[in-house]
Every structure is written in structure tokens, then in C-alpha cells.
């Protein structure tokens, strides 16, 4: 089968990267700088760039919203328990898509159609045809309404999780997509202090 333009571009970019891979093939598995970052999947975010990470430095966990989901916590626990990280960063961002819908909206949209919906500035309009599914009503989509409060909430969830040792500090930040700047959320970082729970 023919490869799509996107697949061809990704493969070409990869060939170029591999051609100048240098000594990176010798990097060990555990993160050299002993920390992990939990952040959003948003396309505008490049955590390696915004936090200054080279290959081999740190674990990066990403999902919709950078939320402290059970799966993110599974990853963080593996990160410290087996691979020796000692600090966790939770980094959400401004203008996050997770503030533009909620469980009700998403469940309704998916029930009508699985295809992509369009936001017309006021709300979501489902332009897709074809089958929908009510499975979307059973999912917690982990949306939020206040970006700074969501950081505090996620730092607290990690801090208070029974599998996260009290010795690991958890820091909370909000990344500004307009400026590229990380802003610490003091309430989050205070809540995530080692030994604070």
C-alpha cells in the first residue's frame, strides 16, 4: 500500500535524525537528570525545548490536559520505583483544549458521530456523518474550567497517592503558549512539597 504524505515526511525526518545520531546510542535507560515531567499532549508544547531536555535526561509523560490520571501515575511510579527519578514536574498550559468542553458535551458529540466536530466560536457543532457511540458517556474526559486550579488538583493527587513516596517533591507550573514561559503555581508546589502529605 502507498504511504501517506505524513508517513513519508515522518520517515524522511527520521532518516535525517538517525544519520547524525552520534553517541546517543550509548545512553543508559534510567534518566540521567533524575526527574519526570507530566505535561499536555498539546501540539504547541515541546517539553524538551521548554524545559531544556536532551535525549537521556528525563521521563516525559503526556496526555490530554497533562492530568494526573491513573495511567500517568502508573508511569510516574515506574519512573521512580524502577528508574530512580527523584522530582516530578506537573506542567499544564494556557489556552488548553480541556477547558473548552466537559463530559456532557463530549458524550453527546460522540453519540451523534465519531467524526471530527467543529467549534464555531460559541460551541461545538457536529458536522460528521456516520455512526456514533454511547461509550463516550462512560468516560471521564478529565476536563477542567480553571487552569491554575487543575495544576493544584493534579499535584495534590500525585502527592497523596499511596504509591508515591513522601520524599519526592512535586512541582506545579503553567506554560504560557503565547510567550513560551513557565510560571510556577506556588499553591501547587507548596502542596507538592516533600513530606507535605
Residues contacting a second copy: total by CB under 8 A? 99
Give least dist CB 149 to a second copy, A.
20
Backbone angles phi, psi at 174, to 5 degrees: -120, 125
- Minimum CB distance to a second copy smaller for 81 or for 149: 81
Contact between 63 and a second copy per CB under 8 A: yes
Touching a second copy, residues 21-60 (CB under 8 A): 21, 24-25, 27, 29-36, 41-46, 48-53, 55-60
Touching a second copy, residues 100-139 (CB under 8 A): 100-101, 106, 109-110, 114-117, 119, 124, 130, 133, 135-136, 139
Give least dist CB 121 to a second copy, A.
13
- Minimum CB distance to a second copy smaller for 61 or for 155: 61
Binding to a second copy by CB under 8 A, coded x per residue (else -) over 162-191, reads xxxx-x-x-x-----xxxxxx---------
Amino acid at each position: 500500500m502507498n504511504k501517506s504524505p505524513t508517513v513519508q515526511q515522518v520517515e524522511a525526518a527520521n532518516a535525517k535524525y538517525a544519520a547524525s545520531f552520534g553517541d546517543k546510542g550509548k545512553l543508559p535507560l534510567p534518566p540521567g537528570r533524575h526527574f519526570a515531567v507530566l505535561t499536555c499532549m498539546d501540539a504547541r508544547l515541546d517539553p524538551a525545548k521548554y524545559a531544556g531536555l536532551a535525549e537521556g535526561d528525563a521521563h516525559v509523560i503526556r496526555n490530554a490536559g497533562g492530568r494526573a490520571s491513573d495511567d500517568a501515575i502508573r508511569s510516574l511510579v515506574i519512573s521512580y520505583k524502577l528508574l530512580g527519578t527523584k522530582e516530578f514536574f506537573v506542567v499544564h498550559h494556557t489556552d488548553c483544549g480541556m477547558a473548552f468542553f466537559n463530559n456532557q458535551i463530549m458524550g453527546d458529540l460522540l453519540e451523534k458521530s465519531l467524526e471530527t466536530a467543529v467549534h464555531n466560536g460559541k460551541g461545538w457543532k457536529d458536522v460528521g456523518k456516520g455512526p456514533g457511540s454511547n461509550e463516550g458517556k462512560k468516560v471521564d474526559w478529565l476536563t477542567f474550567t480553571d487552569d491554575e486550579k487543575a495544576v493544584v488538583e493534579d499535584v495534590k493527587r500525585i502527592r497523596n497517592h499511596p504509591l508515591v513516596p513522601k520524599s519526592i517533591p512535586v512541582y506545579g507550573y503553567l506554560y504560557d503558549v503565547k510567550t513560551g514561559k513557565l510560571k510556577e503555581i506556588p499553591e501547587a508546589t507548596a502542596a507538592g512539597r516533600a513530606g507535605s502529605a
